[in-house]
Amino acid sequence: MAGALIDLHPDRLFPAEPTQRAIARRLYGCVSDLPILSPHGHTDPAWFSRNEPFADPASLLVVPDHYLFRMLYSRGVNLDELGVPRSDGTRPDVAMRDVWRTFARHYYLFRGTPSFLWLEATFRTVFGLHERLGEANADEYYDCIAEQLATDAFRPRALLDRFGIELIATTEAATDALEYHRALQGTPWADRVITTFRPDDVVDPDRADFRRKVEQLGELTGEDCGRWDGYLAGLRQRRALFKSLGATATDHGHITARTADLDRAACERLLQRCLAGSASTEEREQFRAQMLTEMAAMSLDDGLVMQIHPGAWRNHNPSLFAQYGRDKGADIPTPTGFVEQLKPLLDRFGNETRLTVILFTLDETAYSRELAPLAGHYPALLLGPPWWFHDSPEGMLRYRERITETAGFYNTAGFNDDTRAFLSIPARHDVARRVDAAFLARLVADHRLAEDDAQEIAQDLAYGLAKRAYRLGNHGS
Amino acid sequence: MAGALIDLHPDRLFPAEPTQRAIARRLYGCVSDLPILSPHGHTDPAWFSRNEPFADPASLLVVPDHYLFRMLYSRGVNLDELGVPRSDGTRPDVAMRDVWRTFARHYYLFRGTPSFLWLEATFRTVFGLHERLGEANADEYYDCIAEQLATDAFRPRALLDRFGIELIATTEAATDALEYHRALQGTPWADRVITTFRPDDVVDPDRADFRRKVEQLGELTGEDCGRWDGYLAGLRQRRALFKSLGATATDHGHITARTADLDRAACERLLQRCLAGSASTEEREQFRAQMLTEMAAMSLDDGLVMQIHPGAWRNHNPSLFAQYGRDKGADIPTPTGFVEQLKPLLDRFGNETRLTVILFTLDETAYSRELAPLAGHYPALLLGPPWWFHDSPEGMLRYRERITETAGFYNTAGFNDDTRAFLSIPARHDVARRVDAAFLARLVADHRLAEDDAQEIAQDLAYGLAKRAYRLGNHGS
Amino acid sequence: MAGALIDLHPDRLFPAEPTQRAIARRLYGCVSDLPILSPHGHTDPAWFSRNEPFADPASLLVVPDHYLFRMLYSRGVNLDELGVPRSDGTRPDVAMRDVWRTFARHYYLFRGTPSFLWLEATFRTVFGLHERLGEANADEYYDCIAEQLATDAFRPRALLDRFGIELIATTEAATDALEYHRALQGTPWADRVITTFRPDDVVDPDRADFRRKVEQLGELTGEDCGRWDGYLAGLRQRRALFKSLGATATDHGHITARTADLDRAACERLLQRCLAGSASTEEREQFRAQMLTEMAAMSLDDGLVMQIHPGAWRNHNPSLFAQYGRDKGADIPTPTGFVEQLKPLLDRFGNETRLTVILFTLDETAYSRELAPLAGHYPALLLGPPWWFHDSPEGMLRYRERITETAGFYNTAGFNDDTRAFLSIPARHDVARRVDAAFLARLVADHRLAEDDAQEIAQDLAYGLAKRAYRLGNHGS
């Protein structure tokens, strides 16, 4: 296959049937040039702050992308061959060019996956490479990409401009030094590169460094974080700091969606036991559950939009975790029950029109059964876009098909790419815009929706909804 | 958008692809004029008994329809603005015209939902309104609808005729006075407007008025309903009365599908504890579970078809419930497990060919995993049509796609609209007939099914299956 | 309907839209003539060993096929009328011709089901019958099929050739005498008809004859199977014997996917309690769970591929079971959780590249949520094709749509028909090849996949993947 010219087709991801394809083209035409809002993601703020050139093709595109190396791992390639660093800080003795060759040799594994779509678009439109990648042209690809990465046009800020990214949010832990976002203050980039408050490090007692992180929270804020009131005050201080650096949102990655609404004494007791390391599994879960409700309370006060990302069993593979640490493709979704688990939070705050809680799921069965009915009722709730494993053309279609009929379009939060793969951001938004155009085209072709209504919706899905949901009114253009 | 002429397209909901569309048109042509059977729903029997004109557009179309006001509520409109009465009986001080204006201003929220399809069809075909509803023409709509509602042609019985409704079943509680159905006896309408026996009021000990309702059951029947035998005898009497007023079916809205088959002593003990208010959560659930099995036993005797509607977490929003009461859009589906929960009932009655139990679900994951395999084996079981949140074009397609391949078409019960929105009944049946035509057209176009077979099936889905499943042989034309 | 000529359309199961249909035709053209690998199924090895003619149409096609008689049973036909033998060994007093007539009269029930597709293809292509089966031509069908079955061209081995079956695996219990496979050794058929090691009889303490079967295992192997070490040694011996008779795989039908990794003392204790009949429900489940892990350990040693088929609630209908025994259409799927249940096995063996564990499911919700993420990470895992109730065109599409985007094509194991209905094998593979062509055609038409890539994938799905997954390198052509 390698060697053949494979160009991106202008109609890719549109339905083949001509009536629908023509409608999809027109709808996509209304949104293809809209600026990109990336209000939730995991890029490295150092890139935008320092604006240094990226190192090389493999360490930019392969080594940090667990979507890619987990697929090769599943077919027998070990992580050392892929240059993945070990958790003790050592790096395998492998040349980045060899990592790239191994990746190219296994590129066929991605056929039919969204990674394939994102990579193809990146190779073609970002680097101008028009042959299908394979073993034969691996070096040619490597050299061509490496050469371009060394130029000023491929520095991070230049790419932000080229990609049409109006705003990008990174995600930092509650105790993060935030040095890169601080450095951006006073520059024209401060409004375009913002942070997000992610307090998992100080609210998840299952983490090995939980106690140390809470102590650090105390040091950073001058609050007595060993006690419940001080701990909450410390969190409030950090939220205010994040907000001053542009944050409009928080993010919460919990294993379940469980929430709680305990009295003050119970909270104090739970915090003490968690800090002392004597809390039971159930108590640690209760603590996280209570903290989601506390975060909602703080959001009602400070206006930060709350994002809940539940349901990933992190680090399912213990021997891999021991060697390589977190985020190595061994996070597996689990069934997630929202109706019972969110009730304590919703009982307190579900009817608040000033609060925005954006729900994500890795359990698609919840779309039509739980999430759309919840979001179609509670004023405080919006639904985030299809997440992680489901951020794919089929996954996006399933989302629209199962959400829309109960929750409509206006209880959803717009697209966010949620990625650490910076170069794929335009491709990811493009896929989402194309799939939404395809979905809307079907409704128009079936005479369920007028085409002018569909145009308005397409623009909202591509831009307007995210701007409103994430309260980006004061940001960007 | 308001102002544009938006007519119903004759091909709406048919596949855009021309071969399939042509087949769908032909199949739909075989069923579009069939009479409507509405064997399960929640319209008000007073309408058909008194035959008085409907009051005004908002109190007919908006105020009682939780599909509509929950969507506006979810985007920040409060229920007072929508004229929703409070549970203390007071009504908000809002003019119905203003309720209508608020509804019209938010009509865009329904784009992509089945409510939009039903409303569009109602506006166009029932009221002859051909502009898209919006803020600008809200008053025009209101006046036009109000004027027509005041005419004799829009009285309930005239609409039954105009809509081609051969038979409609309402649903009444076991202790209902049934005055409207009694009043219909001896008139030509008695065979067209029948009741359904819904004993939730006297079998659900979680209801605040359970004890009072059981006492009322005793008063109505002269049985000693404080004891197990008398209680069952009272239920049998009421079933017989409902049957004499035309009922062919019962309906059971339980939070789970759990059934039980306990011995007489255990039943007596459970009843005593439930009446005394001393039953635990588990005992109250056991009581409901046992009562499903008792109802099946009575159905085997008296021939009433049994409908089980499990899986709704009713009144999930306690503060809304405290202010506005039941059926306010705060009922949320939950996962429902049929295989284990129905087993006690099926162990006793699953092999009875004279019994018909129609199962519904709010948990679509059960379609292919549990419901189709169960219905494809047990003689006593049929599957009801897609229910509530899933009564939508996409929901209906999912149902056919996941049910048919294991259970075929003939283990399903035909369409029932299950609605309290009387004016939408023709539109709802029309949507179902169109979606079934679209599904069958795909099978024909893929050469999985011959077109003459598909015609026969389409007619069964639109009319014959419901007639047989609900035993309507002695009713209607 | 009966009487009409109904021929198989060459484009059946391809999308109706012309662009996609043309692509699907081309892709199918690349695979339609590939030989059939049937590496997992339940045909009777006696057929191939003895090569005697089949008895008659009904006892070949209806009586043993629970897909067929369960559907008739669900609509009120009793199993005696269908000639199904009772578990006491008696047969109902019914002529096979009358069984066939009953079947023909109810043939319309199968419209829309995969059984209908398989039967139509069998009637048309195997027997040259071109009218739609119905009551009117039931006898004509019976006579025509009976006549052909009596000829040499319809003996089992001739059909293997005619069907292009390169290899077929039957499935035998651990204690099976294996006389038919032994008899094949030394003949040219030994490489084409192989066995599969299915040890449920000696690892499932819920079976009434468990103790007897373990004793039998001891007698067959000379090991002391009343003790843990001897029991494992006995199993190892039998695996070696199966392997010597061609087996490349094992098969495990457990009610859950639960695995365990207990210490030796706990294993010994569990075995003792299971043999003594004193094990609790939980202990019996633990024993099965442990045995899956033991089987994985043995597979790592002897290279047999391990298949896990979890999630069927066997014999859900106790009165039917009492009269007719196992496999009577009363097996119902249940929710299956793989992420937690497989963890003990995966913790030990998930990273082994030399081990192949093929996972199947009856719970489609696990496809995108659990199975694709697990198979897309763990080197030891592959996903089996859609199983049992989901082995249908829609089920196959759902599988591809939900698996591919996370796991790609190369973490799947290819198609296996898993059937006891020998005559339907070509039709089943043909359906799978057509549906895969249709799925791939959509990706090509949407410009997600190049057509030459799609061709290569189609060939792998039809042949190559099964050959590699089941390690059939030394078998067949």
Cβ pair B450:C4 closer than 8 A: yes
Closest residue in A to C20 (Cα) is A16
Judgement on whether residues A344 and A430 belong to the same structural domain of the protein:
yes
How many angstroms separate the CA of residue C357 from the nearest CA in chain B? 23
Q: End of a domain among A87, A119, A154?
A: A154
**Partner-chain residue, chosen from A114, A320, A363, that has the shortest CB–CB distance to C369:** A363
The pLDDT tens digits of the residues spanning A335-355 come to 999 999 999 999 999 999 999
CA distances, C352 to each of A109, C260, C356, C380, C381 (Å) = 19, 17, 8, 6, 9
Q: Is residue C10 part of a domain?
A: no
Could you give the CA distance from residue A14 to residue C447 in angstroms, rounded to a whole number? 9
Terminal C-alpha separation, chain C? 43
Q: B94: exposed, middle or buried (C-beta count within 10 Å: 0-12, 13-18, 19+)?
A: middle
| Mutation choice for A interface testing from B117, B323, B332 by most A CBs within 10 A | B332
Q: Can you tell me the distance from the alpha carbon of C424 to that of C426, in angstroms, rounded to the nearest whole number? A: 6
Q: List the subunits that have 3+ CB pairs under 8 angstroms with C.
A: A, B
> Does A28 share its domain with A72?
no
Domain count, chain A: 2
A285 in any annotated domain = yes
The model's confidence at residue A1, banded by pLDDT at 50, 70 and 90, is very low
CA distance linking residue C466 with residue A335, whole number of Å: 30
CB C313 within 8 A of CB C332: yes
Nearest chain B residue to A374 by CA distance is B332
- Per residue in B276-305, pLDDT tens? 999 999 999 999 999 999 999 999 999 999
What is the distance between the alpha carbons of residues A226 and A233, in angstroms, rounded to a whole number?
A: 11
pTM, entire model: 0.97
The shortest C-alpha distance from B397 to chain A (Å) reads 11
Low-confidence ranges of chain C (pLDDT < 50): 1-2, 476-477
Tokens of C245: 């008779």
Each residue's pLDDT tens digit, A41-91:
999 999 999 999 999 999 999 999 999 999 999 999 999 999 999 999 999
> Are C183 and C236 in the same domain?
yes
Q: Decide the pairing of beta strands A312-313 and A332-333.
A: antiparallel
Q: What CA–CA distances, in Å, run from A25 to A22, A125, A443, A451, B289?
A: 5, 19, 14, 12, 54
Residues C133 and C185 in one domain: no
Chain C positions touching A76 (Cβ under 8 A) are 353, 379
In the predicted model, what is the mean pLDDT of residues A258-262?
98
Report the Cα–Cα distance between both ends of chain B, in Å, rounded: 43
Domain limits for position B69: 53-154
Residues of chain A contacting B395 with CB distance shorter than 8 Å: 368, 405
Alpha-carbon distance of C392 to B401, in angstroms, equals: 10
Q: Which of A339, A407, A445 sits opposite B332 (nearest CB)?
A: A339
Task: Tell me the C-alpha distance between B431 and B435, whole Å.
Answer: 6
Chain B residues whose beta carbon lies within 8 Å of the beta carbon of residue A339:
313, 316, 332-334
Instruction: Please provide the average confidence, as pLDDT, over all residues in chain B.
Output: 96
d(CA C338, CA B205): 37
Quote the pLDDT of residue B6: 76
CA separation for the pair A204, A264 (Å, rounded) = 19
C474 assigned to some structural domain: no
The nearest CA of chain B is from the CA of A376 a distance in Å of: 5
Same domain, A220 and A330: yes
**Is residue C12 assigned to a domain?**
no
Q: Answer yes or no: is B132 within a domain.
A: yes
Burial class (CB in 10 A: 0-12, 13-18, 19+), A233: middle
- Portion of chain A with pLDDT greater than 70, in percent: 98
Residue with tokens 């283990």: B411
Give pLDDT tens digits for B113-144: 999 999 999 999 999 999 999 999 999 999 99
Of B455, B443, B463, B430, the closest CA to residue B12 belongs to: B430
CA angle C83, C84, C88 (to 5 degrees): 120
Alpha-carbon distances, residue B262 vs A69, A423, B286 (angstroms)? 56, 64, 9
Average pLDDT rounded to a whole number, residues A281-305: 98
Element at C147 (helix H, strand E): helix C138-149
Same domain? C172 vs C143: no
Whether residues B1 and A409 touch (CB distance < 8 A) is answered with no
**Residues in contact with C111: Cβ distance below 8 Å, sequence separation at least 6, in sequence order:** B408, B409, B449, B453, B457
Report the gap between the CA of A42 and the closest CA in chain C (Å): 20
Residue type present at position A157: R
Q: What is the predicted pLDDT for the residue at C396?
A: 98
| Residue B32 token pair | 């579009």
Which phi and psi (to 5°) does residue C338 adopt?
A: -90, -30
With respect to residue C6, please indicate whether it lies within any of the assigned structural domains.
no
Residues C97 and C246 in one domain: no
Smallest CA–CA distance from A108 into chain C, residue: C453
- Which domain CATH number covers A46? 3.20.20.140
- Domain termination site, one of C89, C119, C154: C154
Quick one: which of A290, B406, B161, B340 has its CA closest to C70?
Answer: B406
In a domain, B367, yes or no: no
Quote the CA–CA distance of A42 and A326 in Å, as a whole number.
14
Distance from CA of B373 to the nearest CA of C (A): 6
Say whether both A209 and A87 belong to one domain. no
User: Cα–Cα distance between A286 and A297 in angstroms, integer?
Assistant: 17
ipTM, interface predicted TM-score of the complex: 0.97
Rounded to whole angstroms, how far apart are CA atoms C203 and C208?
12
Q: State whether C405 and A113 contact (CB < 8 Å).
A: yes
With beta carbons less than 8 A apart as the criterion, state whether B286 and B225 touch. Answer: no
The Cα of C49 is separated from the nearest Cα of chain A by a number of Å equal to 38
In this structure, are residues A156 and A44 in contact, taking their beta carbons and an 8 Å threshold? no
CATH number at residue B146: 1.10.2020.10
Considering only CA atoms, which of A302, A296, A217 is closest in space to residue A254? A296
Beta carbons of A305 and A416 less than 8 angstroms apart: no
Residue A474 is predicted with a pLDDT of: 58
Test mutation, A1, A25, A111, A320, chain C, max C CBs within 10 A: A111
C316/C343 same-domain check = yes
* Rounded Cα distance, C129 and A7, in Å: 49
Shared domain for A247 and A395, answered yes or no, is: yes
pLDDT greater than 60 at residue A476: no
Q: β-strands B249-252, B305-308: how paired? A: parallel
Which of B373, B446, B457 minimises the CB distance to C111?
A: B457
Q: Which among C343, C351, C447 has CB closest to A9? A: C447
Residue B5 has what pLDDT? 72
Nearest to A471 by CA among A169, A30, A43: A169
Residues of chain C contacting A319 with CB distance shorter than 8 Å = 347, 351
CA atoms within 13 A on the CB side of B111: 25
Tell me the chain C residues in contact with residue A74 when contact means C-beta distances shorter than 8 Å. 375-379, 381, 407, 411
Q: Is the same domain home to A205 and A343?
A: yes
B–C: how many Cβ contacts below 8 A? 134
The answer to whether residue C7 sits within a structural domain is: no
Residues C163 and C244 both lie in one domain: yes
